[in-house]
Amino acid sequence: MNIIVERFAKIKSNIEKNSNTNSKTIVAVSKTFSLDHIMPLINHGHLHYGENKVQEAFAKWHQIKRENKELKLHMIGKLQSNKAKKAVELFDYIHSVDNQKLADTLSKCQLKINKSLKYFIQVNIGNEEQKSGVRYGEVDAFYTYCKNENQMDILGLMAIPPNDGNEEKYFKSLSELNASLGLKELSIGMSSDYMVAINYKATYLRIGSSIFGQRN
């Protein structure tokens, strides 16, 4: 068995052993890796992949997505409004909706090509200056705006907690906010902390290096 498929199978098994009844979607974060490197996992039947740059993702995925309609691509990085049109054409999920201008642009773009994407609102859970995301206290109003003004299909919230060893505190806070909004999906947990995230109702786990190896 290919080493990437072996790693994926082990991660999936660990998640299933330790999960509650919530189903988990593993988003295999394939950013920076070539399609040749990713293909063993595609051939194994895994469908969900994450990228953080529109141009790189388009070059890598647009042809194979035409050939395999079941593949689902997740935008997990900062998305600028001027890249929204191409992002809507290529991606199926966007995890990084974090401002009104972007929400407006995404809504117009998907309407124009008659495509319905699924979205997560990115929350700046630690109120860090250097990170993107809606501030915790502003999430409720922003969610209402996206849902009512733009008719966006908001699945849930997404966050990357500060790297200070307190991820449980942040996951708990985000999970509670997600539930208070009546949202069912939650995008938290990466290679270093996905086993913690599943204890706080994570449903989308963004796992990269633990599957594909270290990036150069």
Domain ranges of the chain: 3-212
The reported pLDDT for the residue numbered 216 is: 65
What radius of gyration, in Å, describes the C-alpha atoms of the chain? Answer: 17
The reported pLDDT for the residue numbered 22 is: 67
| Angstrom distances, CA of residue 151 to CA of 66, 83, 100, 106 | 27, 20, 13, 11
Q: With a cut of 50, list the residues of the chain below it in pLDDT.
A: none
pTM of the model: 0.96
Planar angle of CA 182, 186, 190, nearest 5 degrees: 165
- Name residue 156's beta-bridge partners: 120, 185
State the CB neighbour count (10 A cutoff) for residue 82. Answer: 9
- Name residue 186's beta-bridge partners: 157
CB 197 within 8 A of CB 171: yes
The topology under which CATH files domain 3-212 is: TIM Barrel (3.20.20)
Strands 185-187 and 25-29: unpaired
Strands (E), 61-191: 72-75, 93-97, 118-124, 134-135, 153-158, 185-187
Planar angle of CA 107, 76, 80, nearest 5 degrees: 50
Encoded tokens for 47: 């469908």
State the CB neighbour count (10 A cutoff) for residue 19. Answer: 15
The reported pLDDT for the residue numbered 183 is: 97
State the CB neighbour count (10 A cutoff) for residue 105. Answer: 21
Sign of torsion over alpha carbons 133, 135, 138, 140: positive
